[in-house]
Amino acid sequence: MVADLVVVTDGEQHSRLRKQVQPAFTKGALDSWRSTIDGLAAELVDDLIAAPGEDAVQRLTVPLPLRVIAALLGVPERDIAEFRRWSDESTRLINFTPTVPGLIDAAKSMRAAMALRRYFLRHLATGELKGSDTVLGSLLAHSSDGALSDEALFQIAILLLIAGNETTTNLLGGMLHTYAQHPEQYDMVRANPDLIPQAVEEHIRYTSPIQNLYRYTRAPYRVGEVTIPTGSRVLLSFGAANRDPLAFDDPDAFHTDRNPRTHVGFGFGAHLCLGAPLARMEAHAVLRELVNRVSRLTIAGPPTWSTNSSLRGPTRLPVVLHR
């Protein structure tokens, strides 16, 4: 299912797939979703303000990216609950472990992914997405020669779920937790909302929602006194790179007014995340709502954190948003 995804290809195949997907992620294409994202952020921050001590993950950091992705993919409101269940279960495949429980979870993930596949192929077959303002509609419009098959469009939908759903949830959850822990930094942004863009970049660096990804070497590579052979499985640790003291002064400290543009929270080079502008837009919208309406954030109970080896963020975060 994932064999042809942009994230796991190289060379000419990667360039071709990325070129096919790119039209849906231009600045103009994403700007058309800004009012939708701003409206959802306002609605969900409202909901969390009105529910002091409730779990921010369930009330804000999960629903926002999920509803944004659903809107981008043309999933109607009536299907959101089922869509959420399928997407949650299918993305757990990222954390596969070769154990009996891991194999059971992988089977559940594959069943959910197949349910998603049937869902999207059914909608693509009806033609209802063609001409729509959804991401898939935009890609269909730019693929009049039929270069993008329904199967390829489904794979793009899965990629969006992986890249734009749980990672953004982790970014938003980490942002809330960090500002509750560092009220002086939150006050700095409240006093100067123009800091929001670079504050979000510092959150991406500091929390690194994507901690690690595995890759395979295509040639021998020497690091210090060690040569890594061709075909070796290596772990890229974005979290470690984002705390590198050679790249950042005082790297373990959170500084809202830092300008950490050299962070690798969204990858680097040819594999730089296509969905990065969308994640930034959602984080900007939430932080803007918070600093305009919330004087401080406090943790209302012990948070729990993801045990996923690749993704880092709170899975439960009881908070109070004070007016």
Q: pLDDT by residue (tens digit) across 240-262? A: 999 999 999 999 999 999 988 88
User: Looking at residues 150-177, what average pLDDT do you find?
Assistant: 81
pLDDT of residue 6: 47
Which domain range does residue 59 map to?
6-322
Residue 9 has pLDDT above 80, yes or no: no
| pLDDT score at 7 | 52
Does residue 131 lie in a domain region? yes
- pLDDT top residue among 252 and 140: 252
Greater model confidence, 294 or 122: 294
Query: How far from 5 is each of 118, 162, 195, 197, CA to CA, in Å?
Result: 18, 11, 35, 29
Question: Using 50, 70 and 90 to split pLDDT, how confident is the model at 114?
Answer: confident
pLDDT(3) > 70 = no
pLDDT tens column, 215-241: 889 899 998 999 999 999 898 899 999
- Please name every residue paired with 322 in a beta bridge, in sequence order, or none if there are none: 296
pLDDT at 4: 44
Higher pLDDT, 271 or 165: 165
pLDDT of residue 275: 75
Residue 82 confidence (pLDDT) above 90? no
Share above pLDDT 90 across residues of the chain, in percent, rounded to a whole number: 45
pLDDT of residue 56 exceeding 70, the answer is: yes
Task: Tell me what pLDDT residue 200 has.
Answer: 96
Burial of residue 28 (CB within 10 Å: 0-12, 13-18, 19+) is exposed
Identify the CATH number of the domain in which residue 235 sits.
Answer: 1.10.630.10
pLDDT at 12: 67
Residue 95 has pLDDT above 70, yes or no: no
Contacts of 229 (CB under 8 A, 6+ apart): 217, 220
Q: What is the pLDDT of residue 2?
A: 43
Q: For residues 279 and 256, give the distance between their C-alpha atoms in angstroms, rounded to a whole number.
A: 18
Tell me: pLDDT of 84 over 90.
no
Q: How far apart are CA 153 and CA 20, in angstroms?
A: 10
What pLDDT is stored for residue 66 in this prediction? 87
pLDDT of 192: 97
Does a structural domain hold residue 39?
A: yes
Looking at the structure of the chain, the number of domains it has is 1
Q: What's the whole-model pTM score?
A: 0.84
pLDDT in tens, 14-51: 566 666 666 667 777 788 889 999 999 999 999 999 99
Report which of 274, 267, 259 is spatially closest to residue 135, judged by C-alpha positions.
274
